[in-house]
Amino acid sequence: MLRANFPVVVRRGILFSPPNPDQGTPLSKAEIDQLRTDVSNLLKDQDCAKFMSALFNQLSADTGRNAYSTNAMDVFNAVERQGGFRRREGPHSATGGSTVGNGDAVIDINFPILSDPMASAMNGRTILHELVHVGSGSSGNYSHYEMAKAAYEVALAQGYKDLGTKPSGGDPGGVDASNSVFFSNMQFKACHVK
């Protein structure tokens, strides 16, 4: 199968992956509604809502790039209005492109949408993860390194224990699975099925 290979282009001084029109099918309204339910159910838990709100504030302070909002649902709704949510087959569970600040934020998913409570919670966390990536109100997105560092600070300030060592050593860029996993561990402490 011939697959278009879109280059990474420099846009307003940052690395930016443009949405690929040859990949990704828009999710149905029912699917988007389920993802919205997945995220909002997590945020109904005050621990999770408090953690996510503080995370956006911490990222704004750390990076100098203000978050579009400290409410993840605002970011969700902005993505829906902009590039939207799409299903895109590929090697990754989910991918975020651009930022809300750019006006064309998009989130592609490659996982099953299920209403089972635990699956719903995991899918909600995955969408929250991508909403943070694209949730900047300016043109530069938030990297895994920035997210991991901010999540550590927030978890520490909110009294979570057994956090391990704060990420350090600079931003390696790219996929950066290590800091992605670190972020997931911090986020899970606040956002999980109780």
Residues that bind other proteins (CB under 8 A): 8, 15, 17, 90-97, 110-112, 114, 116-119, 121-122, 125-126, 129-130, 133-134, 141, 143-144, 161-165, 174-175, 177-178, 180-182, 184-185, 188, 192-193
Rounded Cα gap, residues 67 and 101, in angstroms: 9
Nearer to other proteins, 157 or 181 (CB): 181
Nearer to other proteins, 41 or 184 (CB): 184
DSSP for 92-142, please give it. SSEEEES-TTTT--EEEE-S----SHHHHHHHHHHHHHHHHHH-BSSSS--
Nearer to other proteins, 77 or 93 (CB): 93
Q: Hunting for tokens 């790219």 — which residue is that?
A: 174
Q: Taking the complex as a whole, how short is the minimal distance between the CB of residue 90 and other proteins, in angstroms? A: 7
Judged by DSSP in three states, 60 sits in helix
Q: Taking the complex as a whole, how short is the minimal distance between the CB of residue 27 and other proteins, in angstroms? A: 16
What is the CB neighbour count within 10 angstroms for residue 11?
A: 13
Q: Taking the complex as a whole, how short is the minimal distance between the CB of residue 66 and other proteins, in angstroms? A: 18
Nearer to other proteins, 103 or 188 (CB): 188
Show the tokens assigned to 8: 């990474």
Q: Taking the complex as a whole, how short is the minimal distance between the CB of residue 5 and other proteins, in angstroms? A: 12
Judged by DSSP in three states, 86 sits in strand
